[in-house]
Amino acid sequence: MSGGRLWATSDLHVGYQENREIVAERLLPRSAEDWLIVAGDVGENAADVEWALGILAGRFARVIWAPGNHELWTPQKDPVQLRGRDRYDHLVEVCRSVGVLTPEDDYAVWTGVGGPVTIVPMLLLYDYSFRPAGVPTVEGALKVAYEAGIVATDEFLLHPDPYPDRASWCAERVAATGARLAALPAGTRTVLVNHFPMTRLPTRILRHPEFSIWCGTERTADWHTRFAAAAVVYGHLHIPRTTYEDGVRFEEVSLGYPREWKRHGLRRGLLRDVFPDADPIPESW
């Protein structure tokens, strides 16, 4: 076992200059053996994603990326106008070109502090199943959200091509990823990494509950126990915190927009330690 630590972050949103500066200057490893998980929403433009992940790959012994919804947008101003799955495939190649692991690569096994554990980056998306109580259909949930004035930009910029809709893309990803996880040797401990929450619980504190439909899928509600998660790492909500379900620790690891991290003062640090209880770091560090 090495003495390195496993760190995680997400929602770097480097389109914001102040976030760009944090990536450029402040996201640093503690030792040459440290790894970093980046759980999506690095940015919107493909060149920004390459810039940020390239910098981080040069600092950490290994970087593992799972895409967020923002990477999957096709913004008008991005010279890369690929949509949907083609855009994701392109980003996978971008990651490989800078040495970053993706959901399409073999799962890496972390053997440092807290290991051995298999790190599983995933693209699972959402399927509008986190609906309000008493609203049985996707159409009904979208109507409730639109009427409340809460509409995710994904509806306009995250194209599902070649799938008919984002829920269909999600269904395909959940099926393929679940099969891959089920094929791991019995007893394999995992760190599940997904941009979107894997269970509904973290969305219960959203200021606008209507937004939940763009946040995950009920299909992964038991994955943390079914696939022996030592920890679950996610982002997307921009509400950094720790929750427990069935004894498993769920870490929301987002940086968030400047107005958000200025409000909470980065009191949890710039990077989240995935295994803080194994060989704890002294307070003074």
Smallest gap, in angstroms, from Cβ of residue 257 to Fe ion? 8
Q: Which amino acid is at 98?
A: V
- Alpha carbons 180 and 70: distance in angstroms, whole number: 25
With respect to Fe ion, which residue has the nearer C-beta, 42 or 98? Answer: 42
Nearest partner of 193 among 21, 1, 6, judged by Cα: 6
- Alpha carbons 88 and 72: distance in angstroms, whole number: 6
Smallest gap, in angstroms, from Cβ of residue 261 to Fe ion? 12
- Alpha carbons 169 and 83: distance in angstroms, whole number: 13
Smallest gap, in angstroms, from Cβ of residue 264 to Fe ion? 15
Residue with tokens 């409000």: 263
With respect to Fe ion, which residue has the nearer C-beta, 180 or 238? Answer: 238
Residue 236 touches Fe ion, criterion: CB under 5 A: yes
Residue 252 touches Fe ion, criterion: CB under 5 A: no
- Order of strands, sheet of 117-122, starting from the edge strand that comes earlier in the sequence: 108-110, 117-122, 190-194, 229-234, 248-252, 241-245
Smallest gap, in angstroms, from Cβ of residue 214 to Fe ion? 8
Residue 69 touches Fe ion, criterion: CB under 5 A: yes
* H or E segment and range at residue 14: none
Residue 112 touches Fe ion, criterion: CB under 5 A: no
Instruction: Provide the mask over 11-50, with x wherever binding to Fe ion is found by CB under 5 A and - wherever it is not.
Output: x-----------------------------x---------
- Which positions lie near Fe ion, rule CB under 5 A? 11, 41, 68-69, 236
